[in-house]
Amino acid sequence: MVMRITGNSSGLDIDKIVKDLMNVERLPQTKLKQKKLSIDYQTELYREINTKMSALRETLNNMRYSSSMTGMKATSSSGAVSTTVNDVSATGPKTITVSQLASTAKMSSSALSAQDLVGSAITVPVQITKGVNDKFVLTINGTAKVVTLAEGTYNSIDGNGNADDLRTHLEKAVKDLFGSNVPIQFETDGDSLKLTPKTSLGSKPQIIINNFNGQPNALGFANGQSYYVNLNTPMGSSPGAEETVTINGKVIKYKSDMTIREFMSAVNTSTANVNLTYDQISNTFKFESRLTGETAKISLESDSGSMLAALGFSIGAESAGINAEYVIDGVAGTSTTNNFNKDGIGYKLNQVTTSEVTIKVDRDSDAIVDKLKKFVEVYNDLMDLVNTRLTEKKDRGFLPLTDDQKSQLSDREIEQWEARSRLGLLNGSSILKNIKSDMRQVFSKVFDGVPGGYNTLASIGLTTTEYIQGVSSSVNGRIQLDETKLRDAINSNPDAVNKLLTTNNGIESYDGMAVSLFKHLDDLSGRVVDKAGRGTGGTFDSGSLLGKQVFDLNKKILGMDALLEKREKMYYKRFSAMDQSISKSNAQMNWLTAQMQSGS
């Protein structure tokens, strides 16, 4: 730290002099900081453009598939069947009946026996000691709470209501935590405590007891003892051997001492295409295939251990799914799934029908018009910003503010200054010019493969604004939509409109408008990322061109800090020497004056 001196001998304000000198010394670093801030602002402005491009890209993504721009709609007369239009041009009704839905293969284990919650025999008196065996964890239907018993000696467990009765106090401690309506009957079975679940909402609750400082042992219950199957209890107590189970021809490895939940996870993440679940209400395990239809299956082929048998399944058991069965316009058909396409219409079978369902296919110009209106809005939003950034003039009197400069201004002044210091930073940007020109080219393109009369965007009412001499170029590149002309085109030839917008065969001249612009945006967005990086705001990205410049400037700025600190110390050292010299000179003058006065 630099030692400050006040210039007592010289009478100079040395701190102010050094500060002024250092302000001059810091000018080169200040310029570097302002340059770095200017690049940060450019980064933000480019990323703002990219955000607008992403919005347009998302809009185009909802347009570039032919199924979304057919100009047709299919309406079902019943919720039993849902429909969409994929590639159909003819209007008119269709009928469908559904006699069977496609289903998965399913297999359920035999019902497992509920485990009575009866502890081992207890010998009274039972001593409960605080911090030793006074707590245990009780879980009821997934809600776990720590039960605390009062310290003391309990001389009975038969529920006689006395203060020293263990069963009575256990019931009170549990009800204090879970409420008086806790679904548990507190009983005894000979010399043992017994917790009997009560039926609640049609089923009995899952109850689990776990050790917590040894208490369950004092009550006679084992750690992890439960009423239903406890999925988290290890199947074995000692390190288990590696076993295998084969389901649908896929070998799945497991350890004989893993928990049931771990075994279920091993099955469910395997390639056997089945899910294994536990149903607490029926106290059974269930297999279900992930696929539907007659090709979906469950085949329990082997188990080198005993896990499947422990869960209530038999080796060799098999199950298969079934196909959906339907009749469309009098022609019977089947499907392995409840979702399928037929004759350009997408069907989703929701339930078996009791009568014919009518599917009405009509023109739907509104869907295309609404999507193109949204496209025009988002496209013009992007082009307005591009034009603004390309044409705004740089205000050279407003360089970016450093932290030292901000400290001398109000928040409002800083906001206004920074707004002006951002002006014109992208003026003339080649990237923005490319965005403007590449996008505009699509609107003057003749689209191959589309019937004549519909092979330009102008033919369906999409045109760019006309350039007018003297009018601000900030509106150049905007597009406008003639809705009447678009609706006429859709009603006259929806297939041609669809091709004009969505054709995608890999040949540029054939690509539809939505497809072509989407591809251009991918390329243009990549150029912006190369320039300014990903992310938002001025987040540093050293992989981008501007990010590398910021990285290099930061190194230079940091490198100058040590030099400036050294220079400041040098100034203070010199002024200190000057002040000391003046002090000595003053002392000598004072001595001479005193000598002359004494001699006279």
Q: In this predicted model, what pLDDT tens digit does every residue of 163-188 receive, in sequence order?
A: 788 999 899 999 999 998 999 989 88
User: At CB < 8 A and 24+ separation, what contacts does 15-23 make?
Assistant: 17/575, 18/568, 18/571, 18/572, 18/575, 21/571, 22/564, 22/567, 22/568, 22/571
Per-residue pLDDT tens for 264-274?
999 999 999 99
Per-residue pLDDT tens for 142-152?
899 999 988 99
- Higher-confidence residue of 248 and 117: namely 248
> Which position has the token pair 């263990």?
166
Mean pLDDT, rounded, for 58-63? 91
Mean pLDDT, rounded, for 307-323? 94
- H/E element holding 82? strand 81-85
Mean pLDDT, rounded, for 77-101? 89
Residue 109 has pLDDT above 90, yes or no: yes
Per-residue pLDDT tens for 186-244?
988 888 999 988 887 667 888 889 887 766 778 888 888 888 888 887 776 567 789 99
Residue 599's identity, in one-letter code, is G
What local confidence, expressed as pLDDT, does residue 107 receive? 96
Residue 1 has pLDDT above 50, yes or no: no
Closest CA to 50 of 599, 513, 435: 435
Per-residue pLDDT tens for 478-534?
899 999 999 999 888 888 998 999 999 888 889 999 999 999 998 998 898 888 887
- Higher-confidence residue of 71 and 531: namely 531
What local confidence, expressed as pLDDT, does residue 374 receive? 95
Residue 537 has pLDDT above 60, yes or no: no
Query: Whole-structure pTM over 0.85, yes or no?
Result: no
> Which position has the token pair 């030292």?
404
What local confidence, expressed as pLDDT, does residue 236 receive? 66
Mean pLDDT, rounded, for 440-458? 90
Tallying the residues shown for the chain, one arrives at: 600
> What are residue 432's phi and psi, to 5 degrees?
-65, -35
- Higher-confidence residue of 84 and 264: namely 264
- Higher-confidence residue of 593 and 310: namely 310
pLDDT > 70 in the chain, percent: 92
What local confidence, expressed as pLDDT, does residue 250 receive? 96
Per-residue pLDDT tens for 217-232?
788 888 888 888 888 8
Per-residue pLDDT tens for 465-485?
765 555 555 567 789 999 999
Mean pLDDT, rounded, for 358-362? 92
Residue 93 has pLDDT above 70, yes or no: yes
What local confidence, expressed as pLDDT, does residue 468 receive? 53
Q: Burial of 508 by CB count in 10 Å (0-12 exposed, 13-18 middle, 19+ buried)?
A: exposed
What local confidence, expressed as pLDDT, does residue 11 receive? 59
What local confidence, expressed as pLDDT, does residue 79 receive? 95
What local confidence, expressed as pLDDT, does residue 15 receive? 76
Residue pair 124/154 in contact by the 8 Å Cβ criterion: yes
Mean pLDDT, rounded, for 358-376? 91
pLDDT > 90 in the chain, percent: 37
Band (89; pLDDT cuts 50, 70, 90): low
> Which position has the token pair 């091993």?
266
pLDDT, the chain, mean: 85
DSSP string spanning 301-351? EEESSSHHHHTT--TT-EEE-B-EEEEETTEEEEESSSEEEETTEEEEE-S
- Higher-confidence residue of 19 and 464: namely 464
